[in-house]
Structure 1
C-alpha cells in the first residue's frame, strides 16, 4: 500500500489514508450524479450516505484529536444516514472537509506520539490504536464505495487496479521497470 519505503508508522498511516481517499475518488469520478444517491435496497446506503457518514466520523474523530473525546457531543451519527447533500459539489465539499480534519490531525504527529492516550466514546486508546481503528473503518467504507460504484456503472466501469486476466503482463512490466504501481 505504501508508495515509498518508510519505517515511520505515522508516515505510513498517512500514506494509507491518502491511498484509500484516492481510490475512492477514482471510483466516485466514474459514477453519474444520479447514481450517487442510488441505494441497492432499503437496507443499503447510497454512495452519498457513505460519504456523509465518513465525513461526520472524520470530523468527530480528528477535530482536537489529542485533547477531546473522538465522539463529539454535537455529532448526531444517526443523521449521517439520512438526507445526504443533493449535489456532487456539496457532497465533495463534505468529503474534503472530513479528510482535511484527518490530515490536519495526523500530519503534525511523529512516532513518539503513538503512545499518547486519546479517548473515543470515553474509552482510552493509544494514538496508534486510534489510528488503526480508523484505518480499518475507512478502508471498510472505501471498499463499499468502490464496490457500489463498480456495480452501478458496470458496463462502463474502468478498473482501478490491475484488470482481470492482466496480472502476468502487469507483473512483467513491473519487473522490467515499465509500470508504476497503482
Structure 2
C-alpha cells in the first residue's frame, strides 16, 4: 500500500502542476472571465477548490471534512483582487492537502473518517477528493485553452507530436516509474 500513498501524492502533485501551468499562461483578467452568465470563471473554480481543500484536509483524521466554518456558497463569488492573491490561495489549499496526506502510514488507510457524517475509509476519502480535484482542474485547463486559443501552450502531448513523444518514451529502458517523473 505504500505505492498507493506515493502514487496518490504524485497524482495530486500532477493536478497542481496542471493548474500552475495554466495560471502561468493567463492574465488576472483572463482568470476572472466568465464565458456565459452564471458560469464559473477559473478564479471561482479555484476559490471553490481551495475552500474544499481547507475543509476536507484540516484535521483530516479527527474532524468531519465539512467544517462548520466553511462557507461553500461564498466560494462561487469571485473575491480575488490580484493574480498573486489567487495563486496564494491555490497554494494554501494544496499545502493543506499535502500536510495532511504526506504523513499518512499504511495503517491509516482503513481508518474511518467522515464527510458530512458519511463514513469513508481514508482510501475512499483520498479517491473522492482526487477525482473531485481532477474534475475541476480539467475545467481550469479547458477554460485556459479556450481563452488562449491558438496561443495555448499544450500541457500534454501537443497535436501532431504523438509519434515524437512515443519515440522518446520507447527509447528509454523499461522500468517502473510514475508517469509524472518525466514532466
Tell me which interval the TM-score lies in, with the shorter structure as reference length.
over 0.9
Structure 2 residue runs of 5 or longer lacking an equivalent are: 173-180
Q: Write the mapping of 1:1-182 to structure 2, written as runs, cut at 5 A.
A: 8-177=3-172, 181-182=182-183
Aligned residues: 175
Q: Show CA shifts across 1:134-176 (max 9, x none).
A: 0010000000010000100112111111111110111012212
Query: CA-atom RMSD, angstroms?
Result: 1.3
Q: Distance in 2 between matches of 1:11 and 1:169?
A: 29
Query: Residue 2 of structure 2 contacts residue 106 of structure 2 at CA under 8 Å; is this kept in 1?
Result: no
Query: Residue 27 of structure 1 contacts residue 145 of structure 1 at CA under 8 Å; is this kept in 2?
Result: yes
Query: Residue 15 of structure 2 contacts residue 134 of structure 2 at CA under 8 Å; is this kept in 1?
Result: yes
Q: Distance in 2 between matches of 1:84 and 1:100?
A: 21
Query: Residue 27 of structure 2 contacts residue 83 of structure 2 at CA under 8 Å; is this kept in 1?
Result: no
Q: Distance in 2 between matches of 1:8 and 1:169?
A: 30
Moved over 6 A (4+): none
Structure 1 residue runs of 5 or longer lacking an equivalent are: 1-5
Give the CA deviation at 1:7.
Answer: 5.3
Give the CA deviation at 1:43.
Answer: 2.8
Query: Residue 84 of structure 1 contacts residue 91 of structure 1 at CA under 8 Å; is this kept in 2?
Result: no
Q: Which residue of structure 1 lines up, in the alignment, with residue 176 of structure 2? A: none
